[in-house]
Chain A
Amino acid sequence: MEHIDFSLVDWSRAQFALTAIYHWLFVPLTLGLSFIVAFMETIYVRTGNPEWKRITKFWMTLFGINFAIGVATGIILEFEFGTNWSNYSWFVGDIFGAPLAIEGILAFFLESTFIAVMFFGWNKVSKKFHLLSTWLVAFGSNLSALWILVANSWMQYPAGMKFNLDTARNEMVNFWEVLFSPVAINKFLHTISSGYVLASIFVMGVSAWFLLKNREHLFAKRSMIVASVFGLVATAFIILTGDGSARVVAKYQPMKFAAMENLFTGQQNAPLAVIGLLQTNKSEPGPNKQDFKIKIEIPNMLSYMAFLDPNAYVPGIQDLVNGNSEHNLPSYQERSQKGKLAITALAEYRIAKNAGNDSLANASLTTFQENYAHFGYGYYANRDVNELIPNVKATFYSFRIMVFLGLHFLALFIVVLILTLKNTIDKKKVILYTALWSIPLAYIASELGWVLAELGRQPWVIQDILPTIAAVSQVSASSVQVTFVLFAVIFTALLIAEIKIMTTQIKKGPGGHE
């Protein structure tokens, strides 16, 4: 890896980030609103009250709009894999194939059957069958997300696979290890619950708008009760799964953990900086050394968060880069030497195989297998190891803003629920405006979760195994720039279309549904 076109790597990354960010604008509302609609319809079926049917149909229409605009936006990511990330696609092919195929089949059957019953089946199928279809759409769309998140989790924590030196592909040897890896479980639960919170905020915010406009009081208040209760439960779940995610990151991606906490030097009884303002330290070597200009800490909290032990040692950025013999941490220099051994062994294996030299091939295979865990570090053997540190400022701030917004949503759910039950919510203009303006905040929080997860693992496409510099295709950077602009235009047009259709439908109110 002597000739790296960094412009190509950066544009390919930027394009993927842009597509993923846009795709994620549509997904979380689908995940959460499908369940909210299912709860509303359940109340309708149980009570027989036509007002609940009206409420259900309104939110179902908004679900349909979001679903229709968002459908297939994720397929662009697969196009990019094949064109811009061909080394990576080949390298992971068999691992990604199974989860993505299951996702495709599930999505097809879900979309063609139960969504059709949901929208066309009112008064044509029995109430119970219609309700069952609504629940199946909710479970199906969440299950569909599972497979995508399993694939992403494998990139954060590659498990259940074996690298085939003859084909240059990782092959799945244990499907259950891939599916039930601790990273996959936490990521799936944390991600879907973030969708539930976003959808709850959306329903609450739109309902608040109706109250501010002095329209549809009964509809708005009932919607708010469902949204705030669902939002509260989802927030409790998100705190629980976020806690689990933090421990998994600390264990399997310690550099990401150290970066998101700006922990430069490892320590026992590590405190958690609840609030912090970072300032780049230009006197220290390395591009990412950040000093705290201001910070408010909770003593021992970081150690507890990472290892459930307030006295535990948490490695810092410096310990991971330079190594720490006391805590049995190899330096990145050592790991890059081992990685280089694995890369050289792979090249020698190939030559030996072609020459029919089985003993050399076997010796190379052994060396490769012994060092494969460090394979990706080999690309940094002659480079600055500081390139292996992610962007500290971006991960530090994105984590904190996400958490603070999450706490804001929690408080809002509690306040709105109490005020709605007291039947005084329509008089509380400040709360109603806060609920309305929390809709964009929920999207920001949700996107920041991904910023943290994906920027925090840089430069790895597959943790410790494949960095971005080795994963890109040898295409021209200018062609990636052209498609970047194309995507920006297309996705922005889609977003404008969604907002326009959605706001038009909202303005019509529950009387204007199909």
Chain B
Amino acid sequence: MITILKKIWQFYYQGFRGMTVGKNLWILIIIKLFIFFVILKLLFFPNFLKTNFKTDKERSDYVLEQLTK
């Protein structure tokens, strides 16, 4: 089992080490994920119902009110 895990680790390790174009892509992916999940999600995209209401009951009451007003 340990040998298999070691082989898998080596496979990924060597794969990442041997990358050329992939290195730039990974940098781009990390920057992108940081912008999406840390900056955009936290600062600009709070979940409206989760932020403003504590329980599902409150949320459904609010949506029902919105739909029927």
Contact = CB atoms under 8 A, between A and B. Distances in A.
B60 to A, nearest CB: 5
Given A79-B45, A83-B47, A61 B40 contact: no
A343 B68 contact: yes
B28 A497 contact: yes
Interface residues of B, number: 37
Question: Chain A binding site: helix, strand, loop or mixed by DSSP?
Answer: helix
A501 B25 contact: yes
A90 interface: yes
Contacts, number: 114
Contacts of B19: 514
A120 B18 contact: yes
B3 interface: no
Contacts of B60: 90, 166-169
Contact of A514 (B18, B32, B35, B49): B18
Contacts of B32: 72, 494
Contacts of B46: 82-83
A68 interface: yes
A91 B63 contact: yes
Q: Which of B16, B47, B66 has the most CB of A within 10 A?
A: B66
The contact size tier of chain A is 35 or more
Contact of B48 (A61, A72, A121, A473): A473
Contacts of A346: 64, 67-68
Given A119-B22, A505-B21, A168 B64 contact: yes
B21 A470 contact: no
B22 A82 contact: no
A89 B46 CA distance: 13
Contact of A1 (B33, B41, B69): B69
Interface in B14-69: 14-16, 18-22, 24-26, 28-29, 32-33, 35-36, 40-41, 44-50, 56, 59-60, 63-64, 66-69
Top 4 closest pairs, chain A to chain B, by CB:
A120-B15, A347-B68, A86-B48, A82-B47
Interface of A: 1-2, 61, 64-65, 68-69, 71-72, 75-76, 79-80, 82-84, 86-87, 89-91, 116, 119-121, 124, 166-169, 343-344, 346-347, 350, 470, 473-475, 479, 482-483, 486, 490, 494, 497, 501, 505, 513-514
